[in-house]
Structure 1
Amino acid sequence: MFFEPTTTFQVWWIKSIRVRPHASHRWNHCRQNVVCVVVLIWHSSQHRSLKRNVQSSFMADGPRWEGKATAKVLSLSAEAAWSFLEDFCNFHKWFPAIDTCRRIEGVDGRPGLVRYCAATLPPPSEGVVKWCHERLLAMDPIGRSLSYEVLENNIGIKRYTSTMRVTAINGGDGVSGCQIEWSFLGDPVEGLTREEWVAYLDSGLQGTVRNMEDQAHFTTL
């Protein structure tokens, strides 16, 4: 997510060839060959493990976290659940761990939209506000998914991207229930283990589902 795969492989293969400075007149020919080899390897099933290993070695300038939390929503259709999540700048209405969520810049539903999320910590850290800016990277209403990245913050997050996706269950008709998946890829969060971070997301997602179901039930009364 953070680097272009093609660039990564070009650099790896160019280093492997070890073109000498005085052979610069052959550089263009070597580079074309390198790109061809990369394309073939990228699409070859027998070299997928090599692709992953090389990509990881160049992406990782330190340990990288990856994981997800999931929750089933049996009382809402996939479309109904998505209608809550696609409201990018009102996430505080459903996610129990934050108090505030508002638009900073951009157009609703469009990539580039930036939201401000914040929460006031309970005692003994009463009065301390934890906040972050998050930028929408992609919004897919048909596939019912959105991706965003964390920007400035005071909660110990560096590079971090996340995707929320809603899929139908119970026959796939989208009416009889759905599942929400919240996945992430990023640098370690300061002061937490990966397991603690996943537990935080999982707890927050379960609370989000309960709030969505309560709101849907209230609007049908």
Structure 2
Amino acid sequence: MLKQLVKYAVLAATLVHTALVGADPGSVQLERFLGGLKSLQAVFEQSLFGPERSTPLFSRGIFYLQRPDRFRWDYQAPDQQQIVADGRQIWLYDPGLEQVSVQSQGSALKGTPAALLIGREAVSATFEVENQGSGGGLEWVALRPRDEDSQFSRINLGLANDELLRMEMIDKFGSVTRFRFSEIRHNPDLEASLFEFQVPDGVDRYNQ
């Protein structure tokens, strides 16, 4: 299965709200953020909360993106794991379990924030978008999937100065995954090998 990925959106603004908060609404900032995006590298911190969890699960690593169809999540702590999208398939590799699962990229990303980030889906066709105002020094925008079969009930994005700094994904079971992004590099030259995956010797492969 895919870990909570990342993922993002864009839509029109509310000019009245802009005047009230003194900063462009989240949807406008997101539009500018995505407008010039070709590649991206960022450090991420992830926290997972669930209705049956007494304490959240924390992890961190590095995220890479290369438009139009490739990305990579390198989970570095507390456990190593890799998620690699090569344009055709998504590979989820767990070195500790010595196994990798692979599935079609198109079907796996449908209706997810990752599909928006890599430019695969139009926001207005996939989500209802609503500006949420200011909070914690950020402008927030909420995305609600139009597809009733989506695994998410809502996705909240927090932006400042046209930069995506927070992402919160709420699934239909009440679990919440939060991402905090830092050390962000826009349009870096990324090696093509980052988005290639070769199954290591001795590792079991499972097709989904």
Say yes or no: TM over 0.5.
no
Give the TM-score of the pair, scaled to structure 1.
0.31
- Structure (1/2) with the larger strand percentage: 2
Give the TM-score of the pair, scaled to structure 2.
0.32
